[in-house]
């Protein structure tokens, strides 16, 4: 890739007069030595998987194999349909869709890791709901995914996207940042505005620990996906309104690296701290172990 930081990315886009998604398509084609149309079609296939996961999570309401989670996406959808939401229909739909994809993941369904399985709901929740709201084409959304991919590339190569390395800030935080930046570009924002959205989103997740109950990607992971989708919408709105990340977004990524590196191991996907070690969290883990032993 010709860029290693978000600032590099902005300068490249400005020099070549293209948005981030379009630039990233060309970079990916060069990286894989494939024609751009083949790379584009592969990404289109990934977006189809995302949309199908949203549909399945809402319509089929799958339950996880542990029995611990399932059906919350439909509950939120039904609540929205009743017109009682304080959040509003558009943001509520993004939240419901993000929950849906995460529940499909927990039930061993097919998802796209964006950037990880534990954070797989944020980008589909934001993208699919926004497409329905604004009437964008699938081609538009695919370019949005390339934009998100460019942002994720920078984060992964300058910090981490794994909860085992940097806590949930690295998974959910990165997904929120990717979704916020891509949504900003989809809505007509400049590369600079998209990058400010990344910083605004990511700084709100700094220090978030990875504490999966019973070691499963269910509690609190699924709920964090739903709330993360809403945060991505808010960060995008801020950036488009002209709010800037006072700390440059590349420096926010650096701060995430520092925080994650200092984070105790108990809070990095080991299920030995946080919510996993509450009395209820320990009991859930014990019950699941007993059930597995007796099955």
Measure Cα distances from 16 to 9, 25, 191 in Å: 11, 13, 12
Sign of the alpha-carbon torsion through 131, 137, 139, 143? negative
Region of 184 (left: φ > 0; alpha: ψ -120 to 50; beta: rest) is: alpha
210 phi, psi to nearest 5 deg? -105, 110
Give the pLDDT of residue 169. Answer: 98
Give the pLDDT of residue 38. Answer: 98
Give the pLDDT of residue 142. Answer: 98
Query: Domains in the chain, start-ordered, CATH in brackets?
Result: 6-294 (1.10.4100)
Give the pLDDT of residue 1. Answer: 92
Sort 135 into a burial class: Cβ within 10 Å, 0-12 / 13-18 / 19+: exposed
Give the pLDDT of residue 295. Answer: 78
Task: Specify whether the CB–CB gap between 185 and 147 falls below 8 A.
Answer: yes
**Rg, Å, the chain Cα set:** 19
Residues 39 and 18: their CA atoms lie apart, in Å, by 18
Output the pTM of the full model.
0.98
Could you list the pLDDT tens digit for every one of the 295 residues in the chain? 999 999 999 999 999 999 999 999 999 999 999 999 999 999 999 999 999 999 999 999 999 999 999 999 999 999 999 998 999 999 999 999 999 999 999 999 999 999 999 999 999 999 999 999 999 999 999 999 999 999 999 999 999 999 999 999 999 999 999 999 999 999 999 999 999 999 999 999 999 999 999 999 999 999 999 999 999 999 999 999 999 999 999 999 999 999 999 999 999 999 999 999 999 999 999 999 999 999 7
């Amino acid at each position: 890739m010709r860029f290693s930081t978000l600032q590099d990315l902005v300068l490249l886009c400005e020099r070549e007069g293209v948005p981030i998604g379009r630039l990233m398509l060309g970079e990916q084609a060069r990286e894989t030595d494939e024609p751009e149309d083949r790379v584009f079609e592969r990404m289109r296939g990934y977006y189809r998987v995302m949309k199908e996961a949203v549909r399945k999570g809402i319509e089929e309401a799958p339950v996880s194999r542990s029995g611990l989670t399932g059906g919350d996406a439909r509950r939120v959808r039904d609540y929205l349909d009743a017109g009682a939401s304080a959040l509003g229909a558009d943001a509520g739909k993004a939240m419901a869709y993000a929950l849906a994809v995460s529940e499909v993941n927990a039930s061993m369904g097919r998802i796209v890791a964006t950037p990880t399985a534990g954070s797989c709901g944020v980008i589909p929740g934001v993208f699919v709901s926004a497409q329905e709201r604004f009437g964008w084409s699938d081609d538009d959304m695919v370019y949005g995914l390339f934009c998100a991919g460019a942002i994720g590339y920078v984060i992964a190569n300058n910090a981490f996207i794994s909860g085992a390395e940097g806590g949930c800030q690295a998974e959910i935080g990165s997904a929120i940042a990717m979704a916020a930046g891509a949504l900003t570009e989809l809505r007509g924002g400049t590369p600079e505005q998209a990058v400010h959205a990344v910083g605004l989103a990511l700084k709100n997740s700094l220090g978030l620990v990875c504490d999966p109950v019973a070691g499963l990607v269910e509690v609190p992971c699924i709920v964090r996906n739903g709330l993360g989708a809403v945060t991505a919408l808010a960060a995008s709105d801020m950036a488009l309104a002209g709010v800037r990340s006072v700390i440059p977004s590349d420096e926010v990524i650096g701060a995430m690296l520092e925080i994650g590196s200092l984070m105790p191991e108990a809070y990095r996907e080991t299920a030995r701290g946080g919510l996993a070690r509450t009395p209820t969290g320990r009991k859930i883990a014990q019950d699941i172990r007993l059930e597995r032993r007796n099955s």
